[in-house]
Amino acid sequence: MPIQHKFYINLLDDHERRQKFMGKGYHRWCAVSREEVPDEIDKKMISYYNYPKKSHMGRCGCFCSHMELYKYIIDNQLNDVLILEDDAVLHKSLPKTYPKDAIIYLGGFFGNQKITNKEPVKITFKDGINYLDPKYRIYMTMSYIIPTWELCKEIVDIIEDKKRYRAIDIMLGSMAIPKYFEYPACFVEEGSHSTIATKDKKSNEFYRWVSNKKITKI
């Protein structure tokens, strides 16, 4: 069954970014702002010691936004759910079929499972849905599918069992839940058709990570 529910996460005062979703069957999910982050999440979230407080709170807000949406999916037993962040721009049509026991990524960039591993990522793939080798992960939660509410509950249970939290994309990537990705990516970040920068990082429809200094070849 194709995607049944489409959500995009968007801050209350960010009217501009929500315009591209209007009239296209998407439901807006109100993002948690830095100011709204509960103290418990702030204290449990892991960030580097020199990570700016504003960025840390933004990470917490992103985490809370996805978690609150997960719980809504579970409470309402929603299946075939597409989750987007509001900087996602549609690059190609969405998949009509996909595995039902896995997280399905529709955008982001490849990386090694261990963040400190700087070896080149070597992934074999074809056009369409591909299995993601557990040695690797996809960074970003810009666009992905959760096929069943039961899988969503499994995700929430794993996260809430942790004593400390990390960025939501890191937590998803670390889970022993099967993961697949659609290639080329269905979504890229707002700002460019193929290569989009967020500070010193860029991701494109080929799931490649590009920095201002080098390109990680796959």
Query: Which pLDDT does position 198 carry in this prediction?
Result: 41
Q: pTM, whole model, 2 decimals?
A: 0.91
pLDDT of res. 210:
60
User: Cα–Cα distance between 3 and 120 in angstroms, integer?
Assistant: 33
Q: Which tokens in the block code for residue 190?
A: 């707002």
What pLDDT digit, counting tens, does each position of 41-81 carry? 999 999 988 889 999 999 999 999 999 999 999 999 999 99
β-strand partners of 188:
89
Name the residue among 112, 104, 116, 117 with its Cα closest to residue 185: 104
DSSP-assigned letter for residue 51: S
The pLDDT assigned to 194 comes to: 31
- Report d(CA 66, CA 38) in Å as an integer: 14
- What pLDDT does residue 124 have? 87
DSSP-based helix, strand, coil % in the chain, nearest 5: 25, 25, 45
Ranges in the chain, pLDDT < 70: 191-203, 209-218
pLDDT at 213: 44
The one-letter amino acid code at 34 reads: R
Q: Which two tokens stand for residue 115?
A: 């963040």
Q: Which residues contact 182 (CB under 8 A, 6 or more apart)?
A: 95, 98, 104, 105, 106, 128, 129, 130
